[in-house]
Amino acid sequence: MPDLWMPGAVKTDVGDHAPCDTQYPAKAIAHITWDKNASAAKPVDLVPFANLKAYFTGGGAGMAPHILWSPFTGEFAQFFPADSRSKSVVDLSGGTRTNRAGKVVLQIEALFFPYCRVDGKVYAKLSDTPCKGWQQLQDWVHSWGVPNTWPMGRPTDFTPHRSESVWESQGGWYGHSQVPENTHQDPGTWPAFVTVTPAKPTPAPAKPKVALAHVVYAAKHDPAAAQGHTTYKSEVLLVERALKAEGLLSGTYVDGSFGTKTKDAYKAWQKKLGYSGTGADGIPGKSSLTKLGTKHGFQVTA
């Protein structure tokens, strides 16, 4: 089950939980707090996040959303669990239950008003802000089955557009300006969905190759050669390390020389596979060497 409380959000439960109408598709409603009126000529400093959080847990609890989000700092406060309705839209009696018409109806209030001023910079649109935490918020909402889509179009201005039939029949994100029975025009704009490009899987490293002809030659020539003689050392070492891993060869003899100890160890490997007689003579065959390589990470070539 997805998280009832958004990870990373300050949990500030205002109580008064109530179920949603789960026969409808899952939805999210985008708001801005719009707690001040400003203009390009007269910008106003943004209200502190703590002030709005205190409001929604105090006198404004009757209008609290699920999530209060600061797009400037990435802070979140949550007032209702995801499976409860919240109260940030008008819900007239006798019509569609705007706060409840969905498996979930997650309401998000972005701390913003047009021409707010933050650190000396003025922001006319929510989409102009840093939108810190937006992907985290999007992912949590999506985890509750809300599609990353705007059935009535992503808000780009303060023009309202409402359709009760679309609202009741289609899941996704809606602006407050798109919710039936309401007169608000926010959020004006909202950030585009973040598209995460799946990371390309890291290709598995190529397996080292062991030529059957080389190790057969080594097995036939190294035992009779001078002590320490090696033939095709790097390939023989791969075979010896595999035999050691099987518990058939002491580490003392893992030296790249296919000497008598290595030959005896390979004979033991052949017998372990069920070979006998000339089939277990310590000279590698294609089948036994391939099985050793498959188990211990090398590829056998001709």
For residue 194, being part of any structural domain is answered with no
Range of the domain at 25: 10-178
pTM for this predicted structure = 0.68
For residue 53, being part of any structural domain is answered with yes
For residue 199, being part of any structural domain is answered with no
Query: Does 67 share its domain with 159?
Result: yes
For residue 200, being part of any structural domain is answered with no
Question: Last residue of a domain, which of 178, 201, 219?
Answer: 178
Query: Does 142 share its domain with 28?
Result: yes
Query: Does 88 share its domain with 166?
Result: yes
- 151-158: long-range contacts (C-beta < 8 A, 24 or more apart)? 152/178, 154/190, 154/192, 155/30, 155/187, 155/188, 155/189, 155/190, 156/189, 157/188, 157/189, 158/185, 158/186, 158/188
Count CB-CB contacts under 10 A for residue 195: 7
For residue 203, being part of any structural domain is answered with no
Averaged over successive runs of 10 residues, the pLDDT of the chain (302 residues) comes to 96 97 97 97 98 97 97 98 97 92 98 98 97 97 97 95 94 98 96 82 89 96 87 95 96 94 96 94 96 96 92
Query: Does 145 share its domain with 67?
Result: yes
Query: Does 220 share its domain with 93?
Result: no
CATH number for the domain including 41? 3.40.80.10
Q: What is the side-by-side order of every strand in the sheet holding 76-78?
A: 10-11, 76-78, 67-69, 105-110, 27-32, 172-175
Query: Does 171 share its domain with 45?
Result: yes
Domain count, the chain: 2
CATH number for the domain including 286? 1.10.101
Query: Does 164 share its domain with 222?
Result: no
Beta strands in 13-118 (DSSP E): 27-32, 44-45, 67-69, 76-78, 105-110, 116-118
Residue 226: per-residue pLDDT: 84
Query: Does 44 share its domain with 156?
Result: yes
For residue 221, being part of any structural domain is answered with yes
For residue 5, being part of any structural domain is answered with no
Query: Does 215 share its domain with 124?
Result: no
For residue 168, being part of any structural domain is answered with yes
